[in-house]
Structure 1
Amino acid sequence: MRKVIMWDMVSVDGFFEAPGHDISWFVFEDELAGYIDETQREGDTLLFGRVTYEMMASYWPEAEGDIATYMNGAEKYVFSRSLTRADWHNTTLVAGDAVAEVERLKALDGGSIFIFGSADFAAVLVEKGLVDEYRLGINPVLLGSGVPLFKPVPKRTTLKLTHTRALKSGVVILHYQPQPDV
């Protein structure tokens, strides 16, 4: 079974967007680009909510480089009840049951499935136990306000730290796996 990996940059105080959907605050440099290049190869499918999809689709089709090649070539699913079309190459629009569709995708052959951003959509998958790994790039900044990455959950989830990587920029990358209830 394929695994779903939630990968996001986040401030020390837990925000993945500053007010106004601003993501210009996070540190992006060569060492982070290298990490992304190393790890994205395991995934071949991307999941987005509408807001993140629209932001990504407005940027990546015209971008260049290894990350752009990956983003534009990967199979993409956007989960939205309001979009009527999704024109970014290799994108499928899903208006129905997100949980059932993600369960179906996990059962297919292929690489890992990444969720970038999309906190509202991801919250549904977190609540249903469909996220197999959390990868967080903790940025050395306190935003004070913005959009929190994690929404309230109905129960506590214990996480096991499986990987750490400190970058020269001060970003610390953490990988966690949810642990079964005991």
Structure 2
Amino acid sequence: MRKVIMWDMVSVDGLFEAPGHDIGWFVFEDELADYIRETQLGADTLLFGRVTYEMMATYWPSAEGEIATFMNSVEKFVFSRTLQNADWNNTTLVSGDAAAEVEKLKRREGGTIFVYGSADFAGTLTAKGLVDEYRLGINPVLLGKGTPLFQNIPDHTKLSLTQVRPLKSGVVILHYQPVRN
């Protein structure tokens, strides 16, 4: 079965965006780009909620470089009940049961599936036990206000730390796997 990995950049206080969907505080530098190349460019499917999809679809089609080539060519699914179309290359719009669709994708042949951003959607997947690994880039900043990454999740989800990777920028990347009972 394919693995679903949730990747997000967050502040020390657990926020993944500042008010107004501001992500300009992310520390993105060469060492982080290397980590992304090493760990994510082998994925063959990306999953997004509507808000993250719209931000990504605005940025990546005109971007250049290895990561842009990956983002524009990989298979993508956007989960939304309000979006009318999804025009970004290789994107399928899903308006039905998100958990059921992700379960189907996990059973389908293929490689790793990544979820980027998409706090509400990721919360749904977490609540249904569909996330196999959480990878968090903890940024050296306190935002105070914004959108928490983990919302609408079960009361208690125990995680096991599997990897820690500090970067010179102060970002610390943590990998966790849910402890299944």
**Pairwise TM-score range, normalised by the shorter structure:** over 0.9
Q: Distance in 2 between matches of 1:168 and 1:56?
A: 26
Is 1:132 aligned to 2:132, yes or no? yes
Q: CA deviation at 1:41?
A: 2.8
Shift of 1:157: 1.1
Q: In the alignment, which residue of structure 2 is the partner of 1:79?
A: 79
Task: Tell me what 1:62 maps to.
Answer: 62
Residue identity matched to 2:60: W
Equivalent residue letter for 2:47: L
Structure 2 equivalent of residue 6 of structure 1: 6
Equivalent residue number for residue 20 of structure 1: 20
In the alignment, does 2:116 pair up with 1:116? yes
- TM-score, length-normalised on structure 1? 0.98
TM-score (structure 2 length as normaliser):
0.98
- Shift in CA distance, 65/86, structure 1 to aligned 2, threshold 3 Å: same
Aligned length: 181
Instruction: Kindly provide the amino acid, as one letter, of the partner of residue 20 in structure 2.
Output: G
Letter in 2 for 1:12: V
Alpha-carbon separation, structure 2, partners of 1:30 and 1:41? 15
In the alignment, what sits opposite 1:48?
48
- Identity level (%): 75
- SS, match of residue 33 in structure 1: helix
Q: CA RMSD in A?
A: 0.7
* Cα shift at 1:92: 0.1
Structure 1: tracts of 5 or more residues without a match: none
Please give the secondary structure, in 2, of the residue aligned with 1:8: strand
Residue matched to 2:168: 168
Comparing 163-172 with 149-158, which one deviates more in the overlay? 149-158
